[in-house]
Amino acid sequence: MSVTTVPPVPLSRRVLPLVMLSPAVLVTLAIVFLPMVQALWMSLHDYVLFRPKNFDWVGLKNFVTVWNDPVFWTSLRHTVIWIAITVPAQMLLGLATALLLNQNFPWRGLARALVIIPWALPSVVIALMWVWIYDSNFGVLNDLMLRFNLISSAIPWLADPDTALYAIILTLTWQGFPFFAVMILAGLQSIPRSYYEAASIDGASQARQFWHITLPGLSGVLMTATLLRVIWVANSIDVIYVMTGGGPGYSTYTLPLYALVKARTGLDYGYGSALAVSFTLLLLGFVVLYLRRAGRNIA
């Protein structure tokens, strides 16, 4: 019996990939992993930046304070609303846009290019633009609604605690839907046309084709895009910060914003880090659950 032996891979060939990867790994360790560890370490200390010499170990005290902090729970509730409305709204709008852009019509290329604009604009520009749209004195939204008699007096969208968070959600939905549109459009183009032709021959309606061919064909793209957006939207604070700064009161506080305000404005880095770590753990838990469930569904 002859045994075919695989010639051993030379050491240099085995080491080479590691050597090639090491710069990227080192940079990631330095700019992502190290600050994460630092934040975790700070969260276990009493560390107020204007008393930089005091760095007292307090164990889990900051986390106990987080648990008993009503603003944490308010911010968490807002974060859940923020993600639960924004991501599905972006996805539905992106899906509708992608389906439209997948049709044949004149100037389709231009339409595809234009639809990406909200995604390409810097968040701060978008936030400032929408602040003016919502402005109760000069804003175009109030002006239009007044002209069409939809409201009897101008609504301070961003200064009213009942509308402020939803007004920002609308802004972020507008900003983020092109991401879904582009991803889904790419997904649509990867579904073979023969599936639809076969379904048509079998007499499947458009709706059935969408349900049984398009959606399953997009599931991988939708899962990945949704996961990415959940993480990005959850961590997104720039638009909120510019539009309301979290106000009025705590009406638009989300957890990352609360952590930022505590650390950067209040200079309480110990507590701010505890908030950030708590949020990271919550988000991590959600992501793990999501991956398990979504992975099973796709399989």
158 binds other proteins (CB under 8 A): yes
* In the complex, minimum distance from the CB of residue 291 to other proteins, in angstroms, rounded to a whole number: 36
- Burial of residue 284 (CB within 10 Å: 0-12, 13-18, 19+) is exposed
Window 89 to 118, contacts with other proteins (CB under 8 A): none
**What is the DSSP code string of 217-229?**
HHHHHHHHHHHHH
Residue 101 or 165 with smaller CB distance to other proteins:
165
Number of residues counted as binding other proteins (CB under 8 A) = 32
* In the complex, minimum distance from the CB of residue 47 to other proteins, in angstroms, rounded to a whole number: 10
Residue 97 or 244 with smaller CB distance to other proteins:
244
Find the binder of other proteins among 81, 210, 231, 248 (CB under 8 A): 248
Find the binder of other proteins among 43, 171, 173, 244 (CB under 8 A): 244
Find the binder of other proteins among 73, 198, 265, 291 (CB under 8 A): 265
CB 212 within 8 A of CB 182: no
Q: How many CA atoms, within 13 angstroms, populate the side-chain half-sphere of residue 82?
A: 30
**What is the DSSP code string of 117-135?**
HHHHS-HHHHHHHHHHHH-
What single-letter DSSP state applies at residue 5?
P
Window 163 to 202, contacts with other proteins (CB under 8 A): 164
Q: How far is CA 216 from CA 111, 220, 226, 246, 290, in A?
A: 26, 8, 15, 39, 18
Residue 172 is which amino acid? L
Find the binder of other proteins among 62, 86, 171, 251 (CB under 8 A): 251
77 binds other proteins (CB under 8 A): no
152 binds other proteins (CB under 8 A): yes
Measure the CA dihedral 59/259/91/175, to 10°. Answer: -160
145 binds other proteins (CB under 8 A): no
155 binds other proteins (CB under 8 A): yes
Measure the CA dihedral 124/125/126/128, to 10°. Answer: 80
Q: Which of 116, 98, 106 is nearest to 188 (CA)?
A: 98
Q: Which stretch binds other proteins (CB under 8 A): 95-103, 116-124, 131-139, 289-297?
A: 131-139
Binding residues for other proteins (CB under 8 A):
49-52, 135-138, 146, 152-156, 158-161, 164, 244-251, 261, 264-267
